[in-house]
Structure 1
Amino acid sequence: MRRQHAAALTALALLAAACGGATNEQAAGGGTFTYAISADPGVLDPAMGVLSVTNTVLSFAYDTLVATGADGKLVPALAEKWTVEPDNVTFTLRKNVTCSDGSPLTPSDVAENVNHIADPATKSPIYGVLLPTGMKAEADDAAGTVTLSMPEPFSFILETTRDLFIVCGKGVKDRSLLAHATSGSGPYQLTEAAPSDHYTFKVRRDYTWGPEGSTAKDLPETVVLKVVPNEQTAANLLVAGSLNGGSFVGPDRSRLEADPRIVKQAIPQGNGQFFYHQGDDRPAHDPAVRKALTQAVDLKELAGIASSGTGKPPTGLVLDPAPCPGDTITGHVPAYDAAAAAAALDAAGWRKGADGVRVKDGERLTLRLLYATTRGAGVQAAAEYLAKAWHEAGAEVKLNGQIDTKLSESLTATQDWDVAWVPITVTLPTQLVGFLSGPAAPKGANFAHLDNKRYESLVAKAGKLPSEQGCPLWLQAESALFEDADLVPVVANTVLQAGKGATYELRGGLFAPTTIRLTEGG
């Protein structure tokens, strides 16, 4: 099965749930909503958007076929209804939907989006992740329908379309227009792009086709997404009233939570965990070494450090509320036992040298630990904690902190790492398969060179079943990864969504722009 190379698993670091707590006094449409994003989104073509910050920006200008409703269930968006078969789903589109250039949205537009991403020449990093490998689209403009089909039955075939932004209008014919502009049917249109500084959107007052009957009537006239890499700076701007919203995971989170003027909600952000590079020339290619290194770490203590005490014990890889609820972790991860870890490394042929570093066949046990510096002080402290634990076990650890975009390159292209702290935030188990199996990087998205036959066998079976029937197999597949210490789950993170002078929601991993309301007295 073909899977396109993806820039990094951080491609799937999407937020979900809601930021509630609306005040009683709400202003009618007008004004400006300013929201902090932590990094520049880069190219704005939805077919190439892999970072969470990119998807946040895109969510203002682009609609999806289905959306997540206030209760967490799928609701109509661009599609007013659909019929689902094991290997296909047919959507009937809403009538009178227009693109930002005034042209009507057609089923052919939708089909072109899907087929463009699936075209090998596109080299789309979301192919095989957000768009299932092998999916094709066929439009019937006269009937107002578009059918997305797979070569064989596929779990969650409907749910996958929730994350697919639909380009329409001029952008369909000329994708080069989308590098720093937008061409969608969403409630906002990008009017100014100042990379690494800000992105300005203007509302489309003719927007009447939002999920659950939402329109642009009460939306702010302008949205400014301001690039603020430093979280402390973002918190200061929010308190001062220069920002209306932002997300916070570091030490500034506690002071915002204590501020009665701030509307806030802690929501799931996904897992913190680390992967072992299993290339043939890496120490962690040996499963005994992976398990020993895992046993050398007190994961409970590490979880508190990584999340600054705000996280929860993880139960799986898919963001809550998971489509397949269940605990895939408990009892499947090697337990903390420093003595057993040392004995296992001895048995694997790694003996301590005079300086305390283990050596095998003349090679020192060296671990290059890769992590993102933009993930907050907790991740930095977690990396230092891992380095200390593995140093005590006899490894030489070299820390390599990088910004997200550079980390993506290191994960997949240069491959200059042995252990990587990589966040996972996905809403469907199918979105993980391309990263956890298949061709290894740089030829594929399998950046850690995983080769877990039990996982591959289970997902192959699960993927052909309807979602609910396949859930037991999806859960078993995750547990197989942990049993082999292919990756080590540490903590289920939460993020503080904080607002001042405004309320808004994030639903199903995406910012929901139709929920923004400016409030008085902020």
Structure 2
Amino acid sequence: MKKTAPVAALATLSLLATACGGTSDGPSGKAAEGGTFSFALSADPGVLDPAMGVLGVTNTTLSLAYDTLVANSPEGKILPGLAEKWDVKPDRVTFTLRKNVTCSDGSKLTPSDVAENVNHIADPATKSPVYGVLVPVGMKAEADDAAGTVTLSTPQPFSFILESSTLMFVVCGKGLKDRSSIAHATSGSGPYTLTEAVPSDHYTFKLREDYAWGPNGAATKGSGMPEKVVLRVVPNEQTAANMLISGDLNGAIIYGADRKRLEATPGMGKATMSAGNGQFFYHQGDDRPAKDPAIRKALTQAVNLPELAGIASSGTGRPVTGLVGDPKPCQGDGVTGHVPAFDPAAASAALDAAGWKAGADGVRVKDGKRLSLRLLYVTTKGASTQAANEYLAATWKKIGVDVTLNGVIDTKLSESLNATQDWDVVWLPIGVTLPTQLVGFLSGPAAPKGANFAHLANERYEKLVAEAVTKPGEEGCKLWTESESALYDAADLVPVVENTVLVAQRNATFTVQAGLFVPTSIRMTEAG
């Protein structure tokens, strides 16, 4: 089957790992009319063209100003968005658009506008980093303006052709005619319009009072909708927490140590959200120790995964059931029973049997070569990630492995994984919403020629994926779950924990789902 995604899109997968939907213990109080809703972004969103954005905070920002054809409910049910209905076939989906949708410049949204968005991303000249991740490889769009429909099709059956539309932001109006104009501005049909952009400081949005075509027909007429939304760039979580407590912010996503402090603050609304998985991959290149499945299994058996999960998540994680985040299109558990159990004695015995004997300094040696691993991780994900990797290194040293920690910043991750290939194990948080988004990274041509950064060659996974992608609904989900299990059975990668974050709310309530605002959910409340 045709593989997905350019190598550069790997950064998209890692950086899209962000908050998904959850249940809120929100602040109570009467709705406060008008006003300004202020939310902290952990980094500057960068380029705002939806075809070029790769950061999680970019999509959070864009979700205020842009709509999608369909949306997800918190339970994973597909809801009407710009499209009021749809007809799904194995290799195509035809959407009938709502007739009352207008762009922020007053122009009417047409099926041709939607088609141009999809085809622009799919055009190789665009070099869009979201192609193959948010827009399936080979997808094309055809519009029928007279009938009010747009059809998205793929070269072969694609099991999530409808679900893939939940993350495709639709540009319209002036921005569609001049994409350069939306590098630092917006041109969408969403409920808010960007009115001021000060990079690395703040982004201000103004409410569109005529908006009435959100998910399931949601509108901006409701009581408590803020007239303005200000996204403030606050990289330091402690600073963001202080601003929440003082009332200078209405919302923020908190990953680290300040979470407990905010949860204990009176009047602070809080939601616990899924935030992607913590997991590690083994490099299976020809010259790497983990090429041997016995080595991978032994290394995995040596790790107390529940203990590692607690360290990696600071005790706030959940048991992991698969690679795809909420809202999950498939509800199966592919992890339980498929990851080697904790057994340090068995791990040592397996290394002995594989010919790796302890040397004078305790490090195992085979044919004159030391058993050495370079452990790669990102340093910008907080103290818990650092502690988790230090734990892995200490664990493997106990069974005679020489481990070197290699911490890098986000921008160096893709280079280290794909270009220099200077790693043997990588701790890689990934946040995706469809299993198809991972296929090109878990199979196919190996880096640097392809996106398969770990040099995986799991024939069972590839066979199951080739069948799963052609099957819709529950039939396809069973195969997708089984395909993931094949990876764990072979110890190609080791799922550790489903991370969670705190979405703190002060004098406001709102929903964040799959890293995106549900903008019509934002409500200001009177100070308590």
TM range (shorter): over 0.9
Aligned mate of 1:475, from 477, 481, 485: 481
Matched, 1:337 2:343: yes
Alpha-carbon distance change, 181 to 469 in structure 1, aligned in 2, over 3 angstroms: same
What is the correspondence of 1:47-66 to structure 2 with a 5 Å cutoff?
A: 47-66=51-70
Tell me whether 1:24 sits opposite 2:29 in the alignment.
yes
Structure 1 residue matching 2:54: 3-state secondary structure: coil
Q: Which moved more, 1:207-216 or 1:13-22?
A: 13-22
Superposition deviation, residue 309 in structure 1: 1.0
The alpha carbon displacement at 1:389 in A equals: 0.6
Work out whether residues 70 and 507 of structure 1, in 8 Å CA contact, stay in contact via their aligned partners in 2: yes
What is the distance in 2 between the residues matched to 1:521 and 1:340?
A: 59
1:82 corresponds in structure 2 to: 86
- What SS does the corresponding residue of 1:33 show, helix, strand or coil? strand
The counterpart of 2:118, out of the listed 104, 114, 118, is: 114
Partner AA of 1:495 in structure 2: V
Q: 2 CA distance for matches of 1:479 and 1:2?
A: 20
Look up the match of 1:379.
385
Q: Report if the CA contact (8 A) 1:502-1:517 is conserved.
A: yes
Where in structure 2 are the equivalents of 1:33-182 lying within 5 Å?
33-69=37-73, 72-182=76-186
The residue correspondences of 1:355-394 to structure 2 (distance < 5 A) are 355-394=361-400
SS, match of residue 480 in structure 2? helix
**C-alpha displacement of 1:380:** 1.3
Does the 8 Å CA contact 1:19/1:498 hold for their aligned counterparts? Answer: no
Instruction: Give the stretch that moved more between structures: 31-40 or 300-309.
Output: 31-40
Matched letter for residue 4 of structure 2: R
Range with greater deviation from structure 2 (114-123 or 477-486): 114-123
- What does 1:235-250 correspond to in 2, within 5 Å? 235-250=241-256
- Which residue in the other structure is 1:403 paired with? 409
Distance 2:362 2:154 in 1: 54
Residue type at the aligned position of 2:29: N
Quick check: 2:379–2:407 contact (8 Å CA) kept in 1? yes
Tell me the secondary structure at the aligned position of residue 90 of structure 1: strand
Q: Would the aligned equivalents of 2:133 and 2:437 in 1 still touch at CA under 8 Å?
A: yes
Q: Which residue pairs with 1:206 in the alignment?
A: 210
Quote the offset at 1:130 in angstroms. Answer: 1.7
Task: Work out whether residues 19 and 500 of structure 2, in 8 Å CA contact, stay in contact via their aligned partners in 1.
Answer: no
Distance 2:365 2:328 in 1: 43
Counterparts of 2:40 and 2:485 in 1: how far apart (Å)?
A: 37
CA distance in 2, matches of 1:197, 1:419: 36
- Match among 317, 320, 324 for residue 318 of structure 1: 324
TM normalised by structure 2 equals: 0.94
Matched, 1:448 2:454: yes
Whole-Å separation in 2 of the counterparts to 1:121 and 1:361: 50
Amino acid at match of 2:191: P
| 131 and 156 in structure 1: CA distance in 2 versus 1, 3 angstrom threshold | same
8 Å CA contact 2:202, 2:231 repeated in 1:
yes
SS at structure 2 position matched to 1:75? strand
The answer on whether the counterparts of 2:441 and 2:452 sit within 8 Å (CA) in structure 1 is yes
Per-residue deviation, residues 373-421 of structure 1 (Å, max 9, x unmatched): 3322211110110110111122222222233333244333433322111
> Which deviates the most, 281-290 or 243-252?
281-290
Gaps of 5+ in 1: none
CA distance in 1, matches of 2:115, 2:239: 43
Shift of residue 281, structure 1, vs aligned partner: 2.5
Whichever residue aligns with residue 242 of structure 2, its letter is: N
Q: Distance in 2 between matches of 1:71 and 1:337?
A: 37
Matched AA of 1:372: V
Determine the structure 1 residue equivalent to 2:492.
486
Paired residues in the alignment total: 521
Residue 245 of structure 1: CA displacement?
0.6
- Residues 418 and 173 of structure 1: is their aligned pair in 2 closer, same or farther, counting only changes over 3 Å? farther
Q: Per-residue deviation at 1:320?
A: 4.0
Provide the residue aligned with 1:187 in structure 2. 191
C-alpha contact (below 8 Å) 1:115/1:137 kept by paired residues: yes
> 1:391 touches 1:397 (CA, 8 Å); kept in 2?
yes
Conserved? CA contact 1:208–1:216, under 8 Å: yes
SS in structure 2 at match of 1:394: coil
Q: Given that residues 20 and 327 in structure 2 are in contact (C-alpha distance below 8 angstroms), is that contact kept between their aligned partners in structure 1?
A: no
- Give the C-alpha shift of residue 457 in structure 1: 0.6
Does the 8 A contact of 2:3 with 2:440 survive in 1? Answer: no
Identical positions, percent: 71
What amino acid is the match of 1:121?
Answer: A
Alignment check: 8 A CA contact 1:101 1:170 kept: yes
Q: Per the alignment, in what secondary structure is the counterpart of residue 401 of structure 1?
A: strand
The answer as to whether partners of 1:7 and 1:409 remain within 8 angstroms in 2 is no
- TM-superposed deviation, 1:481: 0.4
Distance 2:74 2:322 in 1: 24
In structure 2, distance between residues paired with 1:307 and 1:413: 29
The Cα of 1:499 is off from its aligned counterpart by 0.6
Once the two structures are superposed, what CA deviation does each residue of 1:451-508 show, in whole Å capped at 9, x if it has no partner? 1111011011011011221121111101000011111011122111111011100234
Gap change, CA 1:222 and 1:305, over 3 Å in 2: same
Call closer, same or farther: CA 1:142–1:201 in 2, change over 3 Å: same
- Runs of 4 or more consecutive aligned structure 1 residues displaced over 4 Å after TM superposition: none
| Alignment check: 8 A CA contact 2:74 2:327 kept | no
What is the CA–CA distance in structure 2 between the aligned matches of 1:322 and 1:201, rounded to whole Å? 30
